[in-house]
Amino acid sequence: MIGLRSITLAVLLGTTAVHAGPEEDRQRFREFYQNRLSSIPLEAHVDGAYAMNAGAREQWLEMEEFPPYEFELDEGQELFEASFADGESLASCFPEGGQGVRQGYPYFDEEAGEVVTLELAINRCREAHGEQPLPYLSGDLAKISAYMAYTSRGNVINVPTPQSEAALAAYESGKQFYYSRRGQLNFACSSCHMQNTGLNLRAEILSASLGHTSHWPVYRLKWEELGTLHKRFQECNSQVGAVPLEAQSEAYRNLEYFLTYMSNGLEINGPGTRK
């Protein structure tokens, strides 16, 4: 029997083929937004809701000239370049010395059999050099991640297509999470960001999931600090009355894997500012 998630996906994407592979999923995902929000160029969705309102976009662009995360970005660079007790630094753990690599994360680590996000890689690097891991939601880790995203601006998201059985299982897990309803409101991620995208929820415009992972970490005005994507995942789960998962849990990493793969071909423009 075809599951509810597959039926929902078929309805949203206008297709009866529900067992598509990752690349077919990605093409249909883009086509959905191209049809639903035809006046907005696909590449503009990296700007989130600001792609949908000219007035709000103008104010946002003005704010980005002197962004509220500017000092945290500088601190992130200092933290990235700082030496560990053994004399090494974060640069030693990443290709290209960690400069301009954000577009390759997350990826599926075949040897470890799991999805590796940029934030997870940062902490694993620290631990490998005898340092303590940093909290995943905000603070120093978000600052380091923001700096690494900043060095990657303009680079195109390029998450390799899942090929192995284990990688495909992680991808499908993230896909299932995205389309599954949960919480007291019985909402899925797709309820807001596909079914109701472009509409208003109170005073906020619901953005498209296309490009959602392109601009993180984000300085949210309500947070008054930089926060990571998994902090936002937790907040979204709480808002629909579901119990949020731990940051960097397997489920959230798989969700990030799926969402980022859907945005392959779009540019990194993080860190960003949001309400």
What residues act catalytically? 236
Angle at 29 between CA 245 and CA 10, to 5 degrees: 85
Terminal C-alpha separation, the chain? 42
Strand partners, 156: 267
- Cβ-Cβ contacts under 8 Å for 97 (sequence gap 6 or more): 91
Residue pair 152/101 in contact (Cβ under 8 Å)? The answer is: yes
- Cβ-Cβ contacts under 8 Å for 9 (sequence gap 6 or more): 18, 175, 179
- Cβ-Cβ contacts under 8 Å for 168 (sequence gap 6 or more): 22, 162
Query: Would you give the DSSP letter of residue 88?
Result: -
| Token pair recorded at residue 204 | 């906020």
Cβ-in-10-Å burial (0-12, 13-18, 19+) of 180 comes to middle
Residue pair 215/145 in contact (Cβ under 8 Å)? The answer is: no
What dihedral do alpha carbons 68, 73, 75, 81 form, nearest 10°?
180
Give the separation between CA 106 and CA 158, rounded to whole angstroms: 10
Q: Radius of gyration (Cα) for the chain, nearest Å?
A: 18
Longest pairwise C-alpha distance within the chain: 57
